[in-house]
Structure 1
């Protein structure tokens, strides 16, 4: 195996000049265990500078890799020599990045002029937090903003609480933005916040009924430090930052994958102990202040009945377990709920979601938040992977935000109503 890696490293060194006009995302189709082994070794060696957008799991799931333009010739030849099929998923990452930045600059200027908020646009952290303040001010009878703690870099972590009154009523948790580069999750959560408030104000079914029985807690940005980092630099590398921004044992590598840091079979397969890896789990369970803040808040509340988290991309609706292939005790019910929710989602725009356990649907993952919630008695725990399935990956165009959010709302609405109708 080391022979393959040495050959690739040599090719990369020879063709280090700009051969292409920008990075590409390759979709790789492993056809054998040997192919999987080769790709996993590439994935583990962070020195190659390959950005794995999806993990190496099996021959059934493709692997998407962003390849720096200086290494495109080398990696393509490496794959061909090893008879590993691939296609070009994104021909020029830079073109999509440039369009995204131009749209954000234009939108910010228009919002300043019109003094309005455009839900069909991506926004930075300050703008999202200002939106939250405005929403609370406009719906003070329903919404409050709760500060659940500070991040590693001392930013506030805010949760919007939708409540018609009462102390520690049964509650539903929804978070987004755990992985910083998944901008569609943040934008979807912003739209959802406004939609919940509007539907309550206009007495649209079923929001008033749901809120008469339960509170909703919505965390739009679960990883503020990472999200800010994706906005602050023009480097392509930083736009695709996934983790938090805490210091690690390796001074050259910052951050922990917050969705591998939970106290749910922490340290098992499906998470890395390498601080430079994208799925680095951290030194210990819930070592990260962001995870601690959320876990403590949910635990102290003590009456959450549903836990849902929004990620991207792949169009999946999943339930426990992630760390093991064994069926969860409530697997049949959770699968039925997720299936009906995916049908509700599909009814809006025809978008198709795959349903299943995390382990069997996407990958093995230890230390994941959904498993943590389920293991602590929050039965209705689900993870969404939003649009798309690979045409744009993490660079979903802003003109798809509202449709993505609306179809996601249909699924969330179904789950929330089900939770209300099936108390436990």
Structure 2
């Protein structure tokens, strides 16, 4: 049956999440995929695509406003597209998440402690970074610049000394709603500091040769916006907060804005789209700040970025269906890192290139890093595979972070043991 998008244009665009559901759709043919792609391109439908229509091998998760549920479900049935309810009531999870944060903040205030099994706002994360840096000569909090809304952007530098030594970059939270990535990065920062202090391998050996730069919040403006209210408009915000050519549609997808085949497939030129690429490469100050810092440093050997969700460990390319020159090595490193991750509690990840594993995407940070000679460039999509999506319960933070650390420390050790000369980056 041919798709008529008007069938699902609904008056629920401004839903506050009351009774919203997340549907998991199981496309069974290329015709189904095309119908879902057409539906996603209609940015006025009020539907929030958490995952995208790529192939019949991957489900498509869509948050559907309550007022639209009957029409959307009926539309899917008429087109013979199977679906199931992944999250029955989004608002219930939002309320539970916010109540837990309020209780945790009160407990932390009274006990003057920091709970790694909880989500935190930007101010609390920045205070945590200050505390960590003040407790150890190993750690420095470095300001990269300011955001569109004039918030500082910080990175933690772990170093035993030296100038512009070989270094490893790790960032999280470039997509604001992916809270588990921020929380995981917070835990990782503490773990690196603790392992160094307690002389626990392999951290001391790695830091004797290389520096680690860890950016916990790569999109501060967007992250603050996700904490502003219970509204789904806020909590599931992904982009930056800059003004665009359409006043009602602010923000750019910061992971489509990098100077890496900018404007190619997998990035939209529509400011109202979730994957809007921006007016030109690195138009967004947040991306420019990070890129300028890495280029000025000139000696990064690895680039790792943390996202969620779908449990994937990926490497370049995202923009094209070809293997990178270093494919055999990158695939092997990712495979071994995945085995290390799995050894903690059996969590299963899928390994592959961005193009083949999740979707075609141009202007991504991992492609940008690799194209500038940073060979060991990887992207994680953390938990889960669909039970909670972007609303992963806080009681899964520590286990998620710990298994990620198992994979990450394998990558860090491998990079440290396999030095190479990066002429592209050092010559920029």
> Taking structure 1 as the reference length, what is the TM-score of the superposition?
0.97
Corresponding residue number in structure 2 for 1:384: 380
Alpha carbons 1:230, 1:240 under 8 Å: kept: yes
1:55 aligns with 2:52: yes
Q: Is the 8 A contact 2:266 2:361 kept in 1?
A: yes
* Contact kept? 2:8, 2:45, Cα under 8 Å: no
Aligned to 1:232: 228
Q: How does 1:44-193 map to 2 (within 5 A)?
A: 44-139=41-136, 141-193=137-189
Q: How has the CA–CA distance of structure 1 residues 170 and 3 changed in structure 2, closer, same or farther, with 3 Å as cutoff? A: closer
SS in 2 for 1:371: helix
Partner secondary structure for residue 278 of structure 1 = coil
Which residue of 2 is the match for residue 8 of structure 1? 8
Tell me what 1:23 maps to.
20
8 A Cα contact 1:261 1:288, kept in partner: yes
Q: Deviations over 1:205-250 (max 9, x none)?
A: 0000000000000000000000000001221121000000000000
Structure-2 separation of matches of 1:16 and 1:93: 15
CA distance in 1, matches of 2:4, 2:52: 20
1:186-201 correspondence to structure 2 within 5 Å: 186-201=182-197
Query: For the residues of structure 2 that align with 1:410 and 1:83, how far apart are their CA atoms?
Result: 42
SS of the aligned residue for 1:146 comes to strand
Contact 1:17 1:70 in 2 (8 A): no
Residue from 32, 35, 39 that aligns with 1:38: 35
Q: Are residues 1:344 and 2:350 paired?
A: no
Structure-1 residue corresponding to 2:274: 278
The whole-number CA distance in structure 1 between the counterparts of 2:33 and 2:83 is 13
Separation in structure 2 between the aligned mates of residue 62 and residue 232 of structure 1, nearest angstrom: 30
Q: Deviations over 1:139-190 (max 9, x none)?
A: 1x10000000000000000000000000000000000000000000000000
**CA distance, structure 2, for counterparts of residue 130 and residue 114 of structure 1:** 15
Query: In the aligned structure 1, how far is the partner of 2:366 from the partner of 2:50?
Result: 21
Moved more, 69-78 or 36-45: 36-45
Instruction: Give the Cα–Cα distance (whole angstroms) in 1 for the partners of residues 148 and 62 of structure 2.
Output: 29
Q: In 1, Cα distance between the equivalents of 2:405 and 2:252?
A: 29
Partner residue in 2 for 1:214 = 210
Contact 2:95 2:230 in 1 (8 A): no
Does structure 2 retain, via aligned residues, the 8 Å contact 1:43–1:52? yes
Structure 1: any 5+ residue segments left out of the alignment?
Answer: none
**C-alpha spacing 1:263/1:16, structure 2 compared with 1 (3 Å):** closer
Q: Distance in 2 between matches of 1:401 and 1:62?
A: 24
